[in-house]
Amino acid sequence: MISYLTKRLLAVIPIILFAIFLMFALIRLSPVDPAEAYLAAAHIHPTEEILAEKRQEFGLNESLIMQYVQTVKQIVQLDFGNSYVTNTPVWQEVVTRMPATIQLAVSSILLAVIVSVPLGFLSAVYKNSVIDHFSRFLAYLGASIPQFWLGYILIFVFAVQLDLFPVEGRGSWQHFVLPSITLSLALIAIYTRLLRASVLEELEKVYVTYGRTRGIKEKTIMVKHVLRIAISPMLTGLGMNLGKLLTGTIIVEQVFSWPGFGRFFIEAILNRDIPVIQGYVVLAACLFIVCNLIVDVLQLYMDPRISWKGRTES
Amino acid sequence: MIASIRTASQGRWAITISSVVLLTFFLISILAPWIAPHDPVHVNLAVKLAPPSWEYPLGTDHFGRCTLSRLLYGARVSLGFAFLIFAASLGIGLLIGTLAGYIGGWIDLLLMRFCDGVMAFPNLVLVLGIVGLLGPGLWQVVVALMMVQWVYYARMIRGMVVSMKEQNFITAARMSGSSTGKIIRRHLIPNVLPPIIVMGTLEMGWAIMDISALSFLGLGIQPPTPEWGAMIHEGKAFIRSQPELMIYPGLFILFVVISFNILGESLSERLGVKRRY
């Protein structure tokens, strides 16, 4: 197990180096150089002298390879530079905004799991019934509805018309309801269908017939045996769709004025705040990779049939 | 993802209906200048936020622009650019994927590692990052989406080419003296077509969603060009008085994207294409 984990962790390094490289290359390829972007974002009138000074400070006069090595060195120490706009370290900005985003993401995942486990399970057990058709409809809807529009529709119905929930901001539990629903619909769509497919697959297995012939209660077979195994692919789904969740938070935070990480990212894009953009993308890639790793490890615990050894070789 | 077992007739119906909806939208986007009642960018403050009338069937927005005309022209932008992104990323993916799969060796290794690297990012995060560094604007969005999408085609096509390369009919073609170019053209490409059609259909839906999301965030299409996502962005200010301004464009996006999704899923069942997600 240790060797498996070490191998997986080592495999993360080149991907993160690549992420940094991609961002680095894009910054150099972009028509605006960081010194100009900095002056524009900080509202300083650009003169040749200041530009030259800033170029020196950012190390833009060094060779490209040296600059890349320097960037990697800094990022490894979690130093993403200072935001051009607020002039505080990017890492600090991220840390202060992270809790809001994580809360939103966690509450959406919880909501998605609470809805999609019973829905997916029932639509497999009662295949082609009303509930199955409903879950199929929900799956198409969740995959096709623009999240920002869904957010506004919910605001219109539940905040403007019915006045049940606040329109925007963060504070009480009521503030969580609409953003979480908005964010979780796409996840519900995926998880419900994933669970349905894996339950249907399990129902074909011999042990189900065996359990039935032994006279074990149908309910026991379903909940204790089928559901327990069938739920495992959902975990993979959770890891695979983390990207969807992450980009979802960007849009949902924008709609509900949620003071999180995603909204900060959009502001940074509009201001050309290069260190923040770079920091966000690199961190998002890291988060994505690490969460997928965690999901894989969890899955090994859940399903002992997948051997550690087999995984190491692939 | 939404794969499910349906009877053949259900599948056929789904294909027919979604194709008809999509065809209608394609016609709208082509014929927009002739069927739209007004110029979509013509500002007339005298009739701003007007309710529906014979003159303005769906009313007007805060600049007095005809909502219906803007919606019809919006189809043009969304479908047009989605198709452009699809065609370009397919083209690049086809070229790189076929090359990598057919030639193999270290070129294959290098290209595929690059694809893996791009795929390690959550899709829209990378797109936003690219747009952020290149600056907001329609063309930047198109380039960013293309840069991210082609790797999926390249990976898929490379996989199919590798598995097909060793099959007998290819060996037979080579033995009978066909050139590499001819083998790729006549034998490989026809065989990889069904999965491409399925993926392309689904990707059109994603591209439309992504374009509208970026426009909504203020990073894509800049005003006054009519685009559905941007229209929602503008309409949200009037959510209390004139909610239909933001409801209509969303419905249009939903209809188009859901049709692409249903068509893609149905085609994948029909053509027997297995999908991993």
Rounded mean pLDDT, B214-226: 82
How are the residues of chain B apportioned to helix, strand and coil, as percentages rounded to the nearest 5? 75, 0, 25
Residues of B in contact with A18 (CB under 8 A): 117, 120
Best CA proximity match to A194, nearest among A302, A296, A248, A121? A121
Q: How far apart are CA A161 and CA A255, in angstroms?
A: 17
Work out the burial of residue B180: count CB atoms within 10 Å of its CB; fewer than 13 is exposed, 13-18 middle, 19 or more buried.
exposed
Q: Which amino acid makes up residue A107?
A: S
Residues of B (109-148) whose Cβ lies below 8 Å from A: 116-118, 120-126, 128-136
For A136, the closest chain B residue by CA position comes to B2
Higher pLDDT, B208 or A241: B208
In angstroms, the separation between the Cα of residue B255 and the nearest Cα of chain A is 8
The partner residues of A82 in beta bridges, in order of sequence, read: A89
Residues of B (241-270) whose Cβ lies below 8 Å from A: 243, 246-247, 249-250, 253-254, 257-258, 260-262
Q: Could you give the domains of chain B? A: 59-271 (1.10.3720.10)
- Please give chain A's pLDDT, 314 residues, in tens: 677 778 777 877 887 888 888 888 888 777 777 777 777 777 777 777 777 777 777 767 777 777 778 778 877 777 777 777 777 888 888 888 888 888 888 889 889 889 988 898 888 888 888 888 888 888 888 888 988 899 888 888 887 778 777 767 677 777 777 888 888 898 888 888 888 888 888 888 888 788 888 878 877 787 777 887 788 777 777 777 777 788 788 888 888 888 888 888 888 888 888 888 888 888 888 888 888 788 777 777 766 665 555 444 43
Domain boundaries, chain A: 100-261
Residue A306 is predicted with a pLDDT of: 59
Query: What letter does residue A89 receive in the DSSP assignment?
Result: B
Residue B88 is predicted with a pLDDT of: 92
Residue A308 is predicted with a pLDDT of: 52
Residue B8 contacts A, CB cutoff 8 Å: no
Q: Is A141 helix (H, G, I), strand (E, B) or coil?
A: helix
Cα distance between the two ends of chain B: 5
User: Which tokens is A4 given?
Assistant: 């498996």
Spatial neighbors of B173 by CB under 8 A, at least 6 apart, are: B182, B183, B186, B187
Rounded mean pLDDT, B165-169: 76
Of the CATH numbers 1.10.3720.10, 1.10.8.100, 3.30.230.10, 3.20.20.140, which one belongs to the domain with range A100-261? 1.10.3720.10
Of A144, A266, A270, the CB nearest to B205: A144
For A161, the closest chain B residue by CA position comes to B240
Q: What is A191-241 written as a DSSP string?
A: HHHHHHHHHHHHHTSHHHHHHHHTT--HHHIIIIIIHHHHTHHHHHHHHHT
Residues of B (67-96) whose Cβ lies below 8 Å from A: none
Q: How confident is the model at residue B131 (pLDDT cuts 50, 70, 90)?
A: confident
Using left for φ > 0, alpha for ψ between -120 and 50, and beta otherwise, residue A166 falls in beta
Contact B121, A281 (CB under 8 A): yes
User: Which tokens is A256 given?
Assistant: 């509900």
Higher pLDDT, B269 or A147: A147
Residue B205 contacts A, CB cutoff 8 Å: yes
CB contact under 8 A, A243 and B124: yes
B123-134 vs B138-165: helix axis angle to the nearest 10? 140
Best CA proximity match to A274, nearest among A36, A15, A17? A36
Of A141, A155, A281, the CB nearest to B125: A281
Residue B89 is predicted with a pLDDT of: 92
Residue A203 is predicted with a pLDDT of: 80
Contact A22, A259 (CB under 8 A): no
Alpha helix segments (H runs only) across B60-122: 67-103, 105-119
For B265, the closest chain A residue by CA position comes to A140
Residue A312 is predicted with a pLDDT of: 42
Residue B158 confidence (pLDDT) above 70 = yes
Residue B92 is predicted with a pLDDT of: 92
pTM across the whole model: 0.82
Residue B6 is predicted with a pLDDT of: 46
Residues of B in contact with A264 (CB under 8 A): none
Residue A314 is predicted with a pLDDT of: 36
Rounded mean pLDDT, B185-199: 79
